[in-house]
Structure 1
Amino acid sequence: MGSGSRQEPADSVVWFHSYLHGGTSSLISTLTTLVTFPLYKTVFRQQLHSTLVREAVSQLRREGPLKLYRGVAPPLLMRSLNGTLLFGLQDTLLQQLSLRDTSAVPRMALPAVAGLGAGVLEAVLFTPFERVQNVLQNSRNDASLPTLRSILHRLASKPPASGYYTAFLPVLVRNALGSSLYFGLKDPMCETLRACGCSPVASSFITGVLNSMVISLPLYPLSVLVANMQAQVDGGGGVRSSWKRLWAARQRRLVLLYRGGSLVIFRSCITWGITTAIYDQLKKRSRSSG
């Protein structure tokens, strides 16, 4: 009992540092979210309307600079909170799994399993943020829902499945798989790069970049589906019917479904490269000072 009571505060400090470092790294990387938001909004229009880049840019120009950053608040808030909880929850779950008898799961797979659990909780907590963001970014909602308050009131008046938690299932699958892949690949990839002579900062940054590419490419269609389901306040239907409509609208061509994907991957590479590098450096300094 005595040794257990001494270990518990130490574990609590480690977990607190994971939440703190995750939040700090994500807060700093939100600067890239702010700078690249016009790029993200261009991609969103491509996801929603399957337009070319020049057509999406023309739409944004016609709407004017005042509406360019409409919808930026939810991703900024979500990004800051997301890093805090994602890294903190994954580390908390990893510590709990490491303390238990998990002989059925290889030890090297525990980070991926913990990432899966963190991704599930992330989807539960942040789907409402993404829902509000997508409604805000859809210019067709500007007339009927001109303010954030009006959107929140409309969504709150609807059942969760058609309100704040529209498209929850694809969000859950995307976030759970993405987090599992990120944390499962992160350390092995980083160690391999360091063995090849990369500096710690460079290896962390490249790991974040490569991870984002590996995750974004196969999961991008889910993001397109989520954007189309969540952009409309009313209607939309279930996942299967929404997917059928989306696939038909893209003329059953994969290349049209991936329209705008290169911009998403570029933005994701920048954000996750910076986030991973900052998080790893903060974690390293915390361990050395402890």
Structure 2
Amino acid sequence: SKKTLMMAGNPDDKQDEEGLKDPMVCFHSFLHGGTSSLLSTFIVFPVYKVVFRQQIHNTPVYQAVGQLYKEGPAKLYRGVAPPLLMKTLNGTLLFGLQDTLLRQLSLSSQNVTSTSALPALAGFGAGMVEAVVFTPFERVQNVLQNGQNDRHLPTLKSVLVRLKAQRLALGYYRALLPITARNALGSSLYFGLKGPVCAAMEGQALYPMVSSFISGTLTSMATSLTLYPLNVLVANMQAEVGGEVKGVMACWRMLWESRQRSVALLYRGGSLVILRSCITWGITTAIYDRQQKRSG
């Protein structure tokens, strides 16, 4: 009868709800996020290093590349261990936690929040957790990448010992506030835009992996350019250990003055950020989406 059908509900809805609660599906999101991030990070590390030198030393591309060339291939991947570990764990947590939060929101916010807004909302929450967990990794990475630290902090162990001697807010958790803002907003934009852009690309009769690559490229490009000033601020706040301690606004004023109050100079290195974003998030998104579809 009609009453029985209403009580039974839609079988497809029940199947979807069971899928949302399946712990193995969430596990795959963590695993695939880590794998895709590991591969993409190793490939683009030299590009990241050039961008970092521009952010710290305010030099054009050719000078940053020349510095790395003079240092030789042995130092090209110096400091790769922290970002490789960080980005692998970062991808594991970010994709896995975002997918987990998205499933929970999908179950609990029926007819309350627009379905299209849920990925961005889940991304915002995942980005906040990501910032708390991975700020120490980024701190160590930025100290190692700063060539001016080579003499008095030559090894990873020496950096860890020096940071441990500092208070958390000045040591491992230096620049936590701008990192939290950057990660939460960045993750929200990425996950909020990725799906619609990918759907639009698939509508152009492209292969799924090509659609995912373009989607990851375009969304990360928009995100990285929007939040690039925060990246520069974080790099400058974290690159040194010790010295005079300044707050976020004081550091921002110093940075703005050092760039001669010029947006163009503040965005120096932006072209390479686009390239890095294209490669990193294009590869990451394509691999992640491919693995998700194969296990789904």
Q: TM-score scaled to structure 1, two decimals? A: 0.92
What residue in structure 2 maps to residue 231 of structure 1?
239
Identity of aligned residues (%): 64
Shift in Å at residue 268 of structure 1? Answer: 1.3
Within 1, Cα distance between the matches of 2:194 and 2:47? Answer: 27
What residue in structure 1 maps to residue 3 of structure 2?
none
Whether the 8 Å CA contact 1:209–1:269 is kept in 2: the answer is yes
What residue in structure 1 maps to residue 194 of structure 2?
186
Within 1, Cα distance between the matches of 2:227 and 2:70? Answer: 31
Shift in Å at residue 160 of structure 1? Answer: 1.1
Whether the 8 Å CA contact 2:19–2:25 is kept in 1: the answer is no
Please, which runs of 5 or more residues in structure 2 have no aligned partner?
A: 1-13
Are positions 1:11 and 2:22 aligned together? yes
Q: How does 1:13-52 map to 2 (within 5 A)?
A: 13-32=24-43, 36-52=44-60
| Paired amino acid for 1:249 | S
Shift in Å at residue 50 of structure 1? Answer: 0.8
> Which one of 247, 252, 258 corresponds to residue 243 of structure 1?
252
| Paired amino acid for 2:204 | C
**CA-to-aligned-CA distance 1:247-269 (integer Å, 9 cap, x gap):** 00000000001111111110111
Seen in structure 2, the aligned counterparts of structure 1 residues 198 and 245 have a Cα distance that, compared at 3 Å, is: same
Q: How does 1:36-75 map to 2 (within 5 A)?
A: 36-75=44-83
Seen in structure 2, the aligned counterparts of structure 1 residues 27 and 58 have a Cα distance that, compared at 3 Å, is: closer
**CA-to-aligned-CA distance 1:262-284 (integer Å, 9 cap, x gap):** 11110111111111111111111
Are positions 1:86 and 2:97 aligned together? no
Within 2, Cα distance between the matches of 1:280 and 1:203? Answer: 10
Whether the 8 Å CA contact 1:120–1:176 is kept in 2: the answer is yes
What residue in structure 2 maps to residue 272 of structure 1?
281
Within 1, Cα distance between the matches of 2:205 and 2:109? Answer: 36
Count of aligned residue pairs for this structure pair: 281
Are positions 1:145 and 2:153 aligned together? yes
Shift in Å at residue 43 of structure 1? Answer: 1.3
| Paired amino acid for 2:211 | S
Point out the more displaced range, 6-15 or 188-197: 6-15
| Paired amino acid for 1:30 | T
| Paired amino acid for 1:125 | V
| Paired amino acid for 2:250 | S
Within 2, Cα distance between the matches of 1:30 and 1:140? Answer: 24
| Paired amino acid for 1:251 | Q
| Paired amino acid for 1:27 | L
Within 2, Cα distance between the matches of 1:265 and 1:224? Answer: 14
Within 1, Cα distance between the matches of 2:259 and 2:107? Answer: 48
Are positions 1:222 and 2:233 aligned together? no
Are positions 1:282 and 2:266 aligned together? no
Please, which runs of 5 or more residues in structure 1 have no aligned partner?
A: none
Are positions 1:255 and 2:264 aligned together? yes
Q: TM-score scaled to structure 2, two decimals? A: 0.90
Whether the 8 Å CA contact 1:229–1:236 is kept in 2: the answer is no
| Paired amino acid for 1:22 | G
Within 1, Cα distance between the matches of 2:73 and 2:195? Answer: 42
Shift in Å at residue 211 of structure 1? Answer: 0.7
SS in 1 for 2:227: helix
Shift in Å at residue 103 of structure 1? Answer: 4.3
Q: Could you say what the CA RMSD is over the residues aligned between the two structures, in angstroms? A: 1.9
| Paired amino acid for 1:20 | L
Shift in Å at residue 39 of structure 1? Answer: 2.3
